[in-house]
Amino acid sequence: MQAIRLYASSERVYAHATAVWSPAAFMRTRASEETTMTDFAGLYSQNAKNMKKSTIRELLKLTNKPGIISFAGGLPAPETFPVEDLRVAADAVFTKCPEIGLQYGTTEGDSMLRAELVKIEAKDGVKVGVDNILVTSASQQALDILPKVFLDPGDWIIAGHPTYLGAIQAVQSYRGNILGIPFAAAEDGFDMDELERRYAAHRAAGKFVKYLYVIPDFQNPTGICWSLEKRKALLRFAYRENLVVVEDSPYREIRFVGEHIPSLYQLEREMENRNIVVGLRTFSKILVPGARAGWIIGHPDLIAKFVVAKQAMDLCTNVFTQRWLAEFLATGKLGSVIENTKANYRAKRMHMLEQLERYMPKHPELHWTRPEGGLFLWLSLPGFINTDEMFHKAIAKNVAYVVGSAFYFGEPEHNSMRLNFSYSSKAEIEEGIKRLAEVVREEMAAHGG
Ligand SMILES: Cc1ncc(COP(=O)(O)O)c(C=O)c1O
């Protein structure tokens, strides 16, 4: 017989040191305390304690107010969803292969879907086989698998400063740290001098980086697209320092201006072919985000490790969805959906740029990116304006954005915002930018700017 202490919380200590352990006594104790116990904090793991609530998602709740024009979310335009073709593809799962689509599947992913994904990669200049592919519950799951596999508490990754909030959240939930690298003024990728400088200081302090996380095509949140030279320079850096490069590419296909640039995955194959790049792909921005389906490409050894990590999460990605998507892809219609989406966003992006030009007050420190693809642009304001504080004034005027500070870790900047141009109609874009410009003008006047 063993005397035990059941659990402790920060406020109250539940000591059962004198109790004699028995399962029945344990259950009785738990049941009787269930009604009174309100403080769970003492039970949380260190990982859970490190999980941060998403600022965006909290703020987004405010943007549901009726009448609001929201540039805040990252939603694709629903009019780009090929609803009828997707319905037919879903029916095909029921009629052609219910014994597959309604059954458990392998963790690696549905064989028909993976065969289609090999073709999608080939179209993008990437030669992979099915062994290089793991189907995931969209990219966000891949972003959770990576730190799970690579990071011990206290380990570091390198990422853009700012970068995608969901990646920050995932890394932090495994108690990983992020070394942030600012973007070059030319908006063509990282400031490589800063990368060298910050990395050297980091190593000198005995800190250990595991991987580089980048979104080379139309980054969330800034819309920046990496030049070919910067992509190569980043790979050379990774080779030299023996780092894995994670290339997150949800927006890659959504290019509406300029020339196609090879992915890091393709370039690495053409350079030293050391298999250091892990590619994250998703259907969320090229088809429908509700499918929650994406895929990782990488060396088969890495894929095998990711498979084990994913098994504990969900055994396999939703099997029905995978077959449904495979049936849709087999029609060969994805290309025209992407073309349609690009045309839609090209027009809206142009319209938003024109409205910004037209309505925003002129100031040397007030400028915005002109993304060649993706869903977002990044607006920078004079340093004396705090967009976190201004947010509530914008909501009062029925317009919403995402505060730039949400995309930073460590030392956030407070004078920027992310604007989404894919979701609103052109009329809403005009009216919304007009309202936003008014808020900015008032804020500048209040600060004597
Ligand atoms: C850069 C980036 N990575 C990953 C994701 C997650 O996308 P999903 O899980 O829908 O594939 C997003 C979503 O907006 C994103 O912007």
pLDDT tens digits along 45-55 = 888 887 777 66
Q: Which atom of ligand 1 is nearest to the CA of 141?
A: 9
How far is the centre of ligand 1, averaged over its atoms, from the C-alpha of 24 (Å)?
Answer: 46
pLDDT at 81 over 80: yes
Mean local confidence (pLDDT), 203-222: 96
* Minimum-distance ligand 1 atom for the alpha carbon of 294: 11
**pLDDT over threshold 70, residue 223:** yes
Ligand 1 neighbourhood includes 284 CB (under 6 angstroms): yes
Residue corresponding to tokens 């142009």 = 350
Q: What is the pLDDT of residue 34?
A: 52
The answer, yes or no, to whether any atom of ligand 1 lies below 6 A from the CB of 140, is: yes
What is the average pLDDT across 295-324? 97
* 23 has a pLDDT exceeding 80: no
Alpha-carbon span 323 to 101, nearest angstrom: 6
Average pLDDT of the residues in 380-387: 96
In the structure, what pLDDT confidence band is assigned to residue 40 with cuts at 50, 70 and 90? confident
Cβ neighbors of 108 (< 8 A, separation 6 or more) are: 114, 130, 133, 134, 135, 303, 307
Tokens standing for residue 324: 């449904």
Ligand 1: centre distance to CA 139 (Å): 6
| Cβ of 166 less than 6 Å from ligand 1 | yes
Reported as a single tens digit per residue, the pLDDT across 149-193 is 999 999 999 999 999 999 999 999 999 999 999 999 999 999 999
What own/partner pairs with CB < 8 Å and gap ≥ 24 does 11-15 have? 11/39, 11/41, 11/42, 12/39, 12/42
- Ligand 1 lined by 387 (C-beta under 6 Å): no
Secondary structure, 3-state, 100-164: HHCCCCCCCCCHHHHHHHHHHHHHCCCCCCHHHEEEECHHHHHHHHHHHHHCCCCCEEEEECCCC
Among 62-76, 77-91, 263-277, whose mean pLDDT is lowest?
A: 62-76
253 CA → ligand 1 middle, Å? 14
Instruction: Tell me the CA–centroid distance for residue 145 and ligand 1, in Å.
Output: 14
Q: Give 37's pLDDT tier (boundaries 50, 70, 90).
A: low
Residue with tokens 């095909």: 92
Cα 74 to middle of ligand 1, angstroms:
9
Determine the atom of ligand 1 nearest the C-alpha atom of 140.
Answer: 9
Q: Is the pLDDT of residue 384 over 70?
A: yes
Q: Among 139, 143, 407, which is best to mutate for testing ligand 1, by the most ligand atoms less than 8 A from CB?
A: 139
pLDDT (0 to 100) of residue 38: 66
State which of 56, 217, 284, 376 you would mutate to test the pocket of ligand 1, scoring each by most atoms of that ligand within 8 A of its C-beta.
Answer: 284
- Predicted confidence (pLDDT) at residue 76 exceeds the cutoff of 60: yes
- Name residues whose C-beta falls within 8 Å of residue 260's C-beta, 6 or more positions apart in sequence: none
* 246 has a pLDDT exceeding 80: yes
CB of 220 closer than 6 angstroms to any ligand 1 atom: yes
Angle at 169 (CA atoms; ends 396, 244), nearest 5 degrees: 135
- pTM confidence score: 0.90
Q: Is the pLDDT of residue 22 over 70?
A: no
pLDDT of 25 higher than 90? no
The residue contributing the CA closest to ligand 1 atom 7 is 139
- What stretch of H or E contains 247? strand 244-248
What band does 35 get if pLDDT is binned at 50, 70 and 90?
A: low
Q: Is 139 in the pocket of ligand 1 (CB under 6 A)?
A: yes
Q: What percent of the chain has pLDDT over 70?
A: 91
User: What local confidence, expressed as pLDDT, does residue 329 receive?
Assistant: 98
What pLDDT band is residue 448 in, cutting at 50, 70 and 90? confident
| Distance from residue 350's CA to the centre of ligand 1 (Å) | 23
Residue 21 has pLDDT above 60, yes or no: no
Tell which atom from ligand 1 comes closest to the C-alpha of 143: 4
The finding on whether 289 has its CB within 6 A of some atom of ligand 1 is yes
- The average confidence (pLDDT) of the chain is 91
d(CA 414, CA 421): 21
Under the banding of pLDDT at 50, 70 and 90, the label for residue 56 is low
Instruction: Answer yes or no: is pLDDT of 96 > 90.
Output: yes
Query: Which one is predicted more confidently, 21 or 205?
Result: 205
pLDDT band at 14 (very low <50, low <70, confident <90, very high): very low
Cβ of 215 closer than 6 Å to ligand 1, yes or no, is yes
The Å distance, Cα 15 to ligand 1 centre, comes to 45
Q: What separation in Å is there between the alpha carbon of 300 and the centre of ligand 1?
A: 23
Q: What is the pLDDT of residue 26?
A: 43
What backbone phi and psi angles, to 5 degrees, belong to 190?
-60, 155
The stretch 238-267 carries a mean pLDDT of 97
Atom of ligand 1 nearest to the CA of 215: 1
